[in-house]
Chain A
Amino acid sequence: MNRHRRYVCDTTELHLRHRGLHLRLRWLSLLIAGLLGVAAFGAQGDPALDARLKTLENELRCLVCQNQTLAESNAPLAEDLRKEVRELAVAGKSDDDIRAYLVARYGDFVLYKPPVKATTYALWFGPFVLLAAGIAVWVTVLRRRARMPADDAPDDASTADDGAAASRPRALLGE
């Protein structure tokens, strides 16, 4: 039963592919004619708009394949959204309007650059806080090392900052 079905599928696919080729050739010739027409009449499309959309689409996330931008993705939804974005842009909406339109529907997640707000403080400032903490630890260790009496400091660098380990032999010697 299954095999039979698969067979039927294959022939339909072949048939479609055959038809597809025909259609594709027809489209290709149309496309060439179109391009020639555009070349002849000057800029029919709007390169400025295309460039603007390209930049905008590169900042937007496709929700179907989440690690791709709207510009890169081949998902049907990305296609629809690109169409939607273009229509909004043609209708005179600004980039911010378009971003707001998408955020209202899909949330901040559509933006590759998330907005700075209470819920994203950790995301935006977390790395800097960690960096500051790291520098603070580093500075403390350096300061303590500098404060240590030079003659007491052991040669081994790995135990140089170990106050407890350094003071132990000192205490032993003192007694």
Chain B
Amino acid sequence: MPTTHATAESRAVPTKWLRWSLPLAIFLVVLGFLFVGLFRDPREVPSPLIGKPAPAFSLAQLHRPEQTLTTQDMRGQVWLLNVWASWCVSCKVEHPLLVDLAKANVVPVIGLAYKDKPEDGLAWLAANGDPYRLSIVDRDGRVGIDFGVYGVPETFVIDKSGVIRYKQIGPLTADALRQTILPLVRELQKS
């Protein structure tokens, strides 16, 4: 019998230590997950298109409907594609930033009027200022689907070879522009 006694005794030491440290470890792991979760937006679904060539499109221009713009036309320069609509409330929030960006003349921004009537889009731009190098109209939202658009506004950074490098879901913010988008644009322009 003394042998069983001894094993029970020696077993008790790690068990005692584990008894409080294991639940604590599990608690901390769960806490860590929840803490990170606090700062993540479930609406921001990572796009599978990043690092892939921008989908090919050929869309009529908003100001000159008889002319089109294709993905090919933008080859050789870094550009932003801003998906917006006159019916989109948060587009109004980001718009002043785009106007400022246009004034700074750092990078051409192409506006994609998503599921919008051309006359509404034109009126909206006339009222709020037109920051776009060119505007194109995606009347039925087909090109939007190709770009995986699900929450307007969205902004894509596209490099010289036509590859999507970044996607901002939701309105642009001054922070996002200064810390992420503009540094990326400058880096891409160098290459």
Chain B interface residue count: which class?
A: 20 to 34
B49 touches A164 (CB 8 A): no
B46 within 8 A of A: yes
Are A107 and B11 CB-contacts (below 8 A) given A63-B45, A149-B1?
no
Q: Complex formed: what's the CA distance from A62 to B8 in Å?
A: 57
Interface of B is mostly: loop
Indicate which residue in A103, A144, A170 contacts B11 across the interface (CB closer than 8 Å).
Answer: A144
Are A66 and B43 CB-contacts (below 8 A) given A149-B4, A163-B11?
yes
Q: Which residues of A contact B141 (CB under 8 A)?
A: 76-77, 80
> What 0/1 readout, one digit per residue, does chain B (16-52) give for beta carbons within 8 Å of chain A?
1000000000000000000000000011011111000
B123 within 8 A of A: no
Within 8 A of B (CB), among A28-71: 63-64, 66
Are A106 and B11 CB-contacts (below 8 A) given A66-B42, A80-B141, A164-B16?
no
Are A107 and B47 CB-contacts (below 8 A) given A147-B4, A149-B4, A167-B8?
yes
Q: Which residues of A contact B16 (CB under 8 A)?
A: 163-164
A105 within 8 A of B: yes
Within 8 A of A (CB), among B158-189: none
Closest beta carbon of chain B to A12's beta carbon, Å: 15
B148 within 8 A of A: yes
A118 within 8 A of B: no
B119 within 8 A of A: no
B120 within 8 A of A: no
Indicate which residue in B1, B45, B145, B146 contacts A81 across the interface (CB closer than 8 Å).
Answer: B145
Closest beta carbon of chain B to A166's beta carbon, Å: 8
A167 touches B9 (CB 8 A): yes
Q: Complex formed: what's the CA distance from A105 to B47 in Å?
A: 7
Indicate which residue in A103, A105, A167 contacts B147 across the interface (CB closer than 8 Å).
Answer: A105
Q: Complex formed: what's the CA distance from A31 to B140 in Å?
A: 24
A167 touches B12 (CB 8 A): yes
Q: Considering residues B9, B145, B150, which has the most beta carbons from chain A within 10 angstroms of its beta carbon?
A: B150
Q: Which residues of B contact A167 (CB under 8 A)?
A: 8-9, 12
B45 touches A107 (CB 8 A): yes
B151 touches A64 (CB 8 A): yes
B15 within 8 A of A: yes
In the complex, what residue of chain B is closest to A106 when comparing beta carbons? B148
Closest beta carbon of chain B to A41's beta carbon, Å: 30
A131 within 8 A of B: no
A104 within 8 A of B: yes
What 3 pairs across the A-B complex have the smallest Cβ distances? A163-B12, A63-B150, A105-B148
Are A104 and B150 CB-contacts (below 8 A) given A147-B4, A149-B1, A163-B8?
no
Within 8 A of A (CB), among B76-134: 115
A-B contact pairs, 14 of them (CB 8 A): A63-B150, A64-B151, A66-B42, A66-B43, A77-B141, A80-B140, A81-B145, A84-B145, A105-B148, A107-B148, A148-B8, A163-B11, A167-B8, A167-B9
Q: Complex formed: what's the CA distance from A64 to B9 in Å?
A: 59
Are A106 and B8 CB-contacts (below 8 A) given A76-B115, A81-B145?
no
Q: Which residues of A contact B150 (CB under 8 A)?
A: 63-64, 77, 106
